[in-house]
Amino acid sequence: MSAFFKRFSRTVRHLGFAVSGSAERHLPQAVRSRLQARIAASESLHTGQIRIYAESSLPLSYLSRNAPARERALTLFGKLRVWDTEGNNGVLIYLLMAEHAIEIVADRGLNPHATARHWQEMIAQMRSPLRAGHWEEGLVLAIDKVSALLESHFPAEPGDARSNELPDAPIIR
């Protein structure tokens, strides 16, 4: 398959997802509420902060450069200020529906505790539900895996009052 055809196919797939409003349709309010509650419950067990950003397709500026999903996730990590938490242990879970892809971006406080291979293995476990279009299942798995890692390295101390630095509600575009 030629490079041109691959880029063209990718663009068409993304445009199809963008036009269909796939993210809102496949992650309705009830699902978003469950994900938000799961994040809140997770954050009661550790001092980290978890954000979810799910979008149907990449913006055209990314498609025109043939940018990978990882680049978009890194940009959103900065824009959403996930890097700006007190413990430097914020994590962005990014779902790109057009590519059935998930990216996890962790702040500098958590990165020394997980190798690149660890992140790759974690993401590999989420591929099956995502390829099947089971978006909620894939995101719940991501929350649980990230939460377990945060809990093992940044456990919440009993009776410690702390603020919720980042909103728990998923962002769906």
For 25-84, write each residue's pLDDT tens digit: 889 999 999 999 999 999 999 999 999 999 999 999 999 999 999 999 999 999 999 999
Output the CA torsion sign for 109, 123, 170, 40: negative
Q: Does domain 3-172 have CATH number 3.90.550.10?
A: no
Name the nearest CA neighbour of 129 among 96, 95, 172, 100.
100
The Cβ of residue 10 has, within 10 Å, a number of other Cβ atoms equal to 16
Given a cut of 80, is residue 21 above it in pLDDT? no
Name the nearest CA neighbour of 101 among 50, 56, 61, 149.
56
CA 159 to chain centre: 29
